[in-house]
Structure 1
């Protein structure tokens, strides 16, 4: 099993009470999302941030990484891919939580695109539910498997927020609504935020909504003066 690692930001307070893990998209790497941690640090001083590099090199993007390969020729490759990559991510999360002396109730997964696929797949299958799952510009892989997941899962479902752009040219905007509908159908409701003019990316509105969602789910109190600056 491949071991993964990536850039980190220590808690500003030096007393880590929450762990937020970023999962980058296809062809990117851990440096791509760690900047979000710098944006959220002022409002989450007790949170440590880490953005691991995915386990595989990406042929289509030299220097980039992928959680799993994409050919667009095999309709089952995404389901096979998330399952193949899940053990390495689970092991990484376990090690990071142990390093900080935390459990999953203090963990949030934040994904972008392919990273959102991983965040939803792994986050919904952890033995203990994470505090929050936040997905940008992605989708739920294998919605047909949610029923069997719900049947055997005894713990609660983590709060979920999905954010998507109406002009996304990589993962169609319809993926947001299809994912939300599938989750609701399996008694795993989620929140969603739609940015009509946004392409495949994260805008200021999505960043703010995501930060507020994480703070609420992780019971982080944001000073009203700081909230106004978000």
Structure 2
């Protein structure tokens, strides 16, 4: 299937897919970074998934990998611009065959910050934020998607309090499924996350 969107992406497509997962990589990675993770997740969950892994638009300062916006120094104005572009892209994935309500939006680190900001302006089946943080001007609106947050206790890149902050804000206002997983790890995706999502998917979709 072709999508006229703002972002390049790699995919594992399925003509019979009833659900979709959209992946957003971290600062300095690229669109193929989370593809294996997405494939493993869809194999664990007993649903027919299409996997889309978006590519951040900017080149990382090192010349290797990509960035959603500049981080050192932090370009928060640029972040807002990119969130708006991302919203356009995500809305294009809201199709009759696979609506956003049957879509998982998963981001890691900077990708998680983008997923939280844009995702809570739309109606997703599930948002998964791994080792993420809220943008400074992020505020909750009227839309609430089910949410799973995962963060390593010893993360020395993004402090775990960033995820705790997101969790507390959402938990106070949303009646939807909302969980915070704190695990013994650093700036990484929890190895048990796929099992947790698959065991709770019936409570979400």
Structure 1 residue 9: deviation in Å? 0.8
Matched residue, 1:225: none
Matched residue, 2:115: 119
Q: 2:145 aligns with which of 145, 158, 175?
A: 158
Structure 1 residue 214: deviation in Å? 4.6
Structure 1 residue 101: deviation in Å? 3.0
**What is the DSSP-based 3-state SS (H/G/I as helix, E as strand, rest coil) of the residue aligned with 1:176?**
helix
Counterpart CA distance in 2 for 1:211 and 1:171 is 26
Matched residue, 1:141: 135
- In terms of fraction of residues, the more helix-rich structure is 1
8 Å CA contact retained: 2:125, 2:204: yes
Matched residue, 1:221: none
8 Å CA contact retained: 1:44, 1:215: no
Structure 1 residue 167: deviation in Å? 1.1
Equivalent positions of 1:169-184 (< 5 A) are 169-184=156-171
Number of residue-to-residue matches in the alignment: 198
Is 1:188 matched up with 2:184? no
- In terms of fraction of residues, the more strand-rich structure is 2
Counterpart CA distance in 1 for 2:199 and 2:124 is 17
Matched residue, 1:95: 92
TM-score calculated relative to the size of structure 2? 0.86
Tell me the alpha carbon deviations over residues 6-43 of structure 1, each in whole angstroms, 9 at most, x when there is no partner: 110123xx411111100111111111101112212322
Counterpart CA distance in 2 for 1:120 and 1:164 is 14
Matched residue, 1:70: 71
Counterparts in 2 of 1:141 and 1:215: CA distance versus 1, 3 Å: farther
Q: Where does structure 2 lack aligned partners over 5 or more consecutive residues?
A: none
Max Rg structure: 1
8 Å CA contact retained: 1:82, 1:121: no
Counterpart CA distance in 2 for 1:44 and 1:30 is 24
Counterpart CA distance in 1 for 2:8 and 2:114 is 16
